[in-house]
């Protein structure tokens, strides 16, 4: 991110309340992740210690320090979702998207398809336990998720099975 773009983002936030989260969110929207260089520039411009910025970015699961795909799929692995089959949802998504099964659950880090179309990650809890298991694609929440519905959901975001 260039300094001019960062200055434009910072200028959108006059109020100190929620300012950092708004700026970080805008940086991520612009870059599709939050590069270290942007955090260092922001630290200098706002006189906020770099460690404070890192603590915010690593605390909130919707921030990413790594580039993400065009569509971000997040599977909730909270207790209710886990009990109601989130693990099966995750394994099916890994298989459909071509990841080695189990890599996401073991590493707990986002993985991105080779074509940068999808990033798959897990979250601790969305707070939507009543409709578990839950997954989110970009900003759309899918409750009562079933493995057999996953191809239909993925197709909404441009996914194609190799044999299609």
Flag whether pLDDT at 160 surpasses 80.
yes
Residue 164 pLDDT: 58
Tell me what the mean pLDDT of segment 10-15 comes to: 84
In tens, the pLDDT along 97-145 reads: 998 877 776 667 788 999 999 999 998 888 999 999 999 999 899 999 9
Running DSSP on this structure, what letter comes out for residue 69? -
Task: Kindly report the pTM of this predicted structure.
Answer: 0.73
Look at strands 140-142 and 135-137 and give their pairing. Answer: antiparallel
Query: pLDDT band at 163, cuts 50/70/90?
Result: low
Flag whether pLDDT at 159 surpasses 90.
yes
Contact (CB, 8 A) for 132 and 76: yes
Using a pLDDT cut of 90, give the percent of the chain over it.
65
Please report which residue ranges of the chain form alpha helices under DSSP H.
Answer: 3-11, 19-31, 36-46, 50-59, 79-83, 86-97, 103-107, 150-155
DSSP H helix total and E strand total for the chain: 8, 5
- Euclidean distance between the first and the last CA atom of the chain, given in angstroms as a whole number: 38
Q: Tokens at residue 86, please?
A: 């989130």
Residue 88: which residues within 8 A CB-CB, separation 6 or more? 147
């Amino acid at each position: 991110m260039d300094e001019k773009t960062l200055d434009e983002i910072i200028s959108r936030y006059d109020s100190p309340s929620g300012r950092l989260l708004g700026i970080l969110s805008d940086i991520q929207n612009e870059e599709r992740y939050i590069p270290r260089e942007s955090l260092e520039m922001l630290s200098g411009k706002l006189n906020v210690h770099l460690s404070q910025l890192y603590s915010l970015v690593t605390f909130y699961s919707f921030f990413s320090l790594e580039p993400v795909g065009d569509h971000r799929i997040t599977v909730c692995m909270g207790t209710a979702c886990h009990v109601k089959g989130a693990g099966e949802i995750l394994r099916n998504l890994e298989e459909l998207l071509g990841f080695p099964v189990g890599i996401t659950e073991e590493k707990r880090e986002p993985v991105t398809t080779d074509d940068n179309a999808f990033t798959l990650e897990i979250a601790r809890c969305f707070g939507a336990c009543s409709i578990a298991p839950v997954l989110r694609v970009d900003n759309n929440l899918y409750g009562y998720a079933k493995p057999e519905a996953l191809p239909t959901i993925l197709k909404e975001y441009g996914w194609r099975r190799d044999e299609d």
